[in-house]
Chains A and B, each alone.
Chain A
Amino acid sequence: MSQSPLPADTRPPAGDPAPLLVVDDLRTEIHTRRGDMKAVDGVSLTLNAGETLGIVGESGSGKSVLGRTIMGLYTTGATMTVSGRVLMDGTDIHALTDAGRRELWGSDVGMVFQDPMSALNPVKKIGLHLTESLRRHGGLSRAAARARAEELLRLVGIPEPGRRLGQYPHELSGGMRQRVVIAMALANGPKLLIADEPTTALDVTVQKQILDLLGRLQAELGMAIILVSHNLQVVAGRANRVAVMYAGRIVELADADALFAAPRHPYTEALLSAVPRLHHPPHSRLEAIDGSPPDMVAPPQGCRFAPRCRYAGDDCRQVSPRLLSEAGGDAARAFACHHPVRPVNAGGS
Chain B
Amino acid sequence: MAGTGTAHMRSGQDRVLVVDDLVVEFPAGRGQKVHAVSGVSFDLLDGETLGILGESGCGKSSAGRAVMQLPSPKSGSVRLDGTELTGLTPRTLRTRRKKMQMILQDPVSSLNPRRRVRDLVAEGLSIWGTRPSREQVESVLSSVGLDPAVVWDRRPHELSGGQCQRICIARALMLDPRVLICDEPVSSLDVSVQAQILNLLEETKSRYDLSMIFIAHDLAVVKNISDRIMVMYLGKVCEVTPSARLAGSALHPYTRLLLASVPEADPATDDQAADGRAAGSRSPGGLAEQGEKSVELPSPLNPPSGCRFRTRCPLATDRCAAEEPLLREVGDGHYLACHNMGN
Contact = CB atoms under 8 A, between A and B. Distances in A.
Q: Please say whether chains A and B are actual partners in one complex.
A: yes
A284 interface: yes
9 contacts: A175-B295, A232-B265, A261-B269, A271-B191, A271-B192, A278-B246, A278-B247, A288-B195, A347-B268
A257 B268 contact: yes
A86 to B, nearest CB: 27
A237 B276 CA distance: 16
Contacts of B280: 278
A326 interface: no
B343 interface: no
Contacts of B220: 275-278, 280
Contacts of A238: 263
Given A257-B268, A278-B223, A205 B195 contact: no
A280 to B, nearest CB: 7
A114 interface: no
A87 interface: no
Interface string B36-59: 000000000000000000011000
Given A288-B196, A292-B160, A346 B269 contact: yes
A282 B220 CA distance: 9
Contact of B265 (A207, A236, A286, A347): A236
Contact of B192 (A274, A279, A282, A284): A274
A208 interface: yes
A274 B225 contact: no
Nearest to A209: B295
A95 interface: no
Nearest to B224: A276
Interface in B188-240: 190-196, 198-199, 202, 217-221, 223-227
Provide the main secondary structure of the chain B interface. Answer: helix
Nearest to B54: A203
A71 B92 CA distance: 59
B273 A277 contact: yes
Contact of B259 (A207, A233, A278): A278
B297 A173 contact: yes
Contacts of A272: 265-266
Contacts of A161: none
Given A175-B295, A274-B195, A276-B198, A292 B217 contact: no
Interface residues of A, number: 50
A288 B162 CA distance: 12
Contact of B263 (A231, A276, A346, A347): A231
Contacts of A148: none
Given A276-B195, A278-B259, A287-B195, 11 more contacts: A157-B295, A176-B296, A204-B55, A274-B192, A275-B191, A278-B219, A279-B273, A283-B202, A285-B202, A288-B193, A292-B160
B164 to A, nearest CB: 12
Interface of A: 58-59, 157, 159, 173, 175-176, 203-209, 211, 230-234, 236-238, 257, 260-262, 270-272, 274-290, 292, 346-347
Contacts of A288: 192-193, 195-196, 199
Interface of B: 55-56, 160, 162, 190-196, 198-199, 202, 217-221, 223-227, 243-244, 246-247, 257-270, 272-273, 275-276, 280, 292, 295-297
A179 B276 CA distance: 30
A233 B261 CA distance: 11
Contacts of A157: 295
Nearest to B55: A203
A289 B226 contact: no
Contacts of B191: 58, 230-232, 271, 274-275
Given A204-B219, A288-B195, A283 B225 contact: yes
B263 A286 contact: no
Contacts of B226: 282
Contact of A278 (B192, B202, B262): B262
B273 to A, nearest CB: 5
Given A205-B258, A288-B196, A282 B190 contact: no
Nearest to A349: B269
Contact of B267 (A207, A237, A276, A283): A237
B180 to A, nearest CB: 16
